Structure 1
């Protein structure tokens, strides 16, 4: 991983312990000096900006695709795995998961805390799932904590992005579209289709086979969303 100074545009620190591709990095909002990374080497590494070496390692049975700190607690960390599961850890007791969420049928590509007790996960099984952490336990894998499954977008292969804001959930789709859901409704509330850009002329065309929306991010305290697709096109969208 590389940390950059956005004021100067210069990189100032590298962290080199992962043995394979690092998929995901997330900073703790309650302790901005702390961050976590997830990798294909089946580990989550915990870091302090002031330390060159990791301050902790969580080993997982399969590749780690995504990591996410809870915004309300610096001790709570969730990550998605290639073994179709979401693992939640209390970092004060990191030898075993606090809970393991089971229900997806393929790799979990993203996890996001919707609030202190609710997680949204995305998977290449074409679904998002909403999990109630109040219905979990540390005794083993939990499937009954899934309170809702969201269907409508297409996601069978690629990582298409996931972002949450004030109960709204946005994700990309392999149909070159952005989808938005609300936490209590299983079907999309709206969608937006990217136009296809011809790489030579720069003009939009109707041919977009193979293109997909790869990243989405809500702007805080607004209904605005930025989305990007696999050809490098970016759109700024607004909920009305």
Structure 2
């Protein structure tokens, strides 16, 4: 009798799932903002984020600027200067105005009033170590993850940190579960992802997901009781929160050293990500192989030789059958891809 190991069974299942992949979407480029050819400064984009209303786009990165665009059509409006290079951005869901938070290389989380173009609060509890990620819960709680090995949670309406956990490795990503429960997920340099109950983070993680071979750079809840993780092992992985089991692995994009962006469109069941191959990828959560791949056009031969890559992505929902995938590059370029479900 031939014995099939659990690992071999899982691989066979992945191959079977992948062979059934069907693209139910049409994607096409709808807008682009080229990089500024007059600047010599590095303009790697660490974040592209659409505000809760779907009206504004914010980008941030090494150029020490938060650039604000309006959408429909995509048009540059203005920028806000920041004191340090930016690694992350996140719009606050329910502020008294239009606010966006940034995490920077100096270990500071700053919230900006976009309409007034001024900072309204700063937090520096990470001891000067780089803040990789910031997020807000649906109720407005804030969280940050840092090179200091901690994730911290606070209420923007008051000063002190509400809770902090130390995992012993750089926390590269934090995200609140905004649909399924009172949870927050962390992606860490120890190759693991952790999920905590925000009501009692001091009691330890309620789930630990170990499967990546290198740093976990992104964690995203899918809104269906599952977590998507991404790592510099060139894989996304889908996990069941309740059982802790891996459901599926996604492969095709290139990611061995950089943050290439990963975003989950919960309503559509799609993963969008960048790649070190200068391409944008879309995966359907049901299948392990990509359903759509697009070259990030517009680079010169010189830039290709410099190994430019797609460094940040985010989804914008238009309707149940329409979406947009926004992508930012290591050269500062922004492109928007319109998606429509096939009839």
User: Normalising to structure 2: TM-score of the pair?
Assistant: 0.63
1:4 equivalent in alignment to 2:129: no
Aligned residue number for residue 263 of structure 2: 163
- Report the aligned-residue RMSD: 1.4
Aligned residue number for residue 294 of structure 2: 192
Offset from partner CA, 1:19-54 (integer Å, 9 cap, x none) = 21110000002x02x111000000001011112221
CA distance, structure 2, for counterparts of residue 87 and residue 38 of structure 1: 12
| Equivalent runs, 1:1-240 vs 2, <5 Å | 1-19=109-127, 20-29=129-138, 31-32=139-140, 34-72=141-179, 75-94=182-201, 95-136=203-244, 145-165=245-265, 166-198=268-300, 205=301, 208-209=304-305, 210-221=307-318, 222-240=322-340
Q: For residue 8 of structure 1, report the CA deviation from its aligned partner.
A: 1.0
CA distance, structure 2, for counterparts of residue 106 and residue 46 of structure 1: 26
1:55–1:178 CA distance, 2 compared to 1 (3 A): same
Contact 1:117–1:133 (Cα < 8 Å) also in 2: yes
CA distance, structure 2, for counterparts of residue 167 and residue 173 of structure 1: 20
User: Normalising to structure 1: TM-score of the pair?
Assistant: 0.89
Q: For residue 207 of structure 1, report the CA deviation from its aligned partner.
A: 5.3
CA distance, structure 1, for counterparts of residue 256 and residue 183 of structure 2: 29
Q: For residue 223 of structure 1, report the CA deviation from its aligned partner.
A: 1.8
CA distance, structure 2, for counterparts of residue 167 and residue 131 of structure 1: 14
CA distance, structure 1, for counterparts of residue 295 and residue 263 of structure 2: 17
Q: Where does the alignment leave 5 or more consecutive residues of structure 2 unmatched?
A: 1-108
Structure with bigger helix share is 2
Contact 2:180–2:223 (Cα < 8 Å) also in 1: no
Aligned residues: 224
CA distance, structure 2, for counterparts of residue 61 and residue 36 of structure 1: 17
SS at structure 1 position matched to 2:242: helix
